[in-house]
Structure 1
Amino acid sequence: MLWATTAPAAATDPTQIEAPSGLRVVLQDYRDETDTPLAIFRARFVAPDLEQAAETMEAVFSDMEYLCNTVALPELATRGLPAQRVVVSLSSEPLEFGTIAPDVAQFFESYSIEDATCIWELF
């Protein structure tokens, strides 16, 4: 199931999130795949300045873990979903789910959930 949320927002929009690195992101949507064997919950984000930020990969991955813990996990709790893992995606522009776009910066990370915390997994 897909829950659309918002389109990319202006700097004053309260839906905009500032990650620890200073990267500004907007939640694109959530995807509930908890009824599959892997029980995945996806949180998809857009960061127009991602390509510039991608020069410091460590910061981008740290931001993704932050988004998992501060945005995706609270949403899971609110919805009461039985997810076993969260996949966080971050792209430089909104994309339809599953779209391959070589000209768009995209990052994906998978996290298991342990003690209400996102634990990074090799993806």
Structure 2
Amino acid sequence: MTRVIGFGILALATAIAPGQTTAQEESAVAVPSGMPVTFYDSLWDSASSTERFRFLAPRIGGDMPMDFAAVSPDMQHLCDSFALPRLGGRDKLPALIVISLMAEPVAFGDPAPGIPQYFEAYSPKGGICAWEAF
């Protein structure tokens, strides 16, 4: 069974009053590279005991994309500082945490060959994310 937590990023056609923020701004996450990253959604797969945290990172696409080596520290940071704290209230941690970055929103499981996406897997161990080779 898979459950989805979060939201998709939708274009807003209405004006935002001063002092208000959009859902995208509220979900902005700081990363070491400084590129703009926003939380997109979280997916739990009970069959594999895997929690996936998906983030929108437009700068991994476009004319001058950031390559995997440049964003790898960001992915470790997202696991340690974003994903792990959101799992703290559970009786049992997932066996695997997958962090993914996508240049544009992509429905989970849909092939999107024209949209850059990066994935990394980690095991939660001792309060940190330990990198796991896919």
Question: What is the number of residues matched between the two proteins?
Answer: 119
Query: Which one has the bigger strand percentage?
Result: 1
What residue ranges of structure 2 are gaps of 5+ in the alignment? 11-20
Divergent runs of 4+, >3 A? 78-81
What residue ranges of structure 1 are gaps of 5+ in the alignment? none
Which residue pairs with 2:32 in the alignment?
Answer: 20
Aligned equivalents of 1:16 and 1:28: distance in 2? 10
Query: Scaled by the length of structure 2, what TM-score is found?
Result: 0.79
- Taking only aligned residues, the RMSD between alpha carbons, in angstroms, comes to 2.1
Q: Are 1:82 and 2:93 an aligned pair?
A: yes
Aligned equivalents of 2:107 and 2:8: distance in 1? 14
1:83: Cα distance to partner?
0.7
Larger Rg: 2
1:5: Cα distance to partner?
3.3
Query: Scaled by the length of structure 1, what TM-score is found?
Result: 0.85
Cα 1:78–1:93 shift into 2, 3 Å: farther
Which residue pairs with 2:5 in the alignment?
Answer: 3
Which residue pairs with 2:114 in the alignment?
Answer: 103
Which residue pairs with 1:114 in the alignment?
Answer: 125
Identity percentage of aligned residues: 33
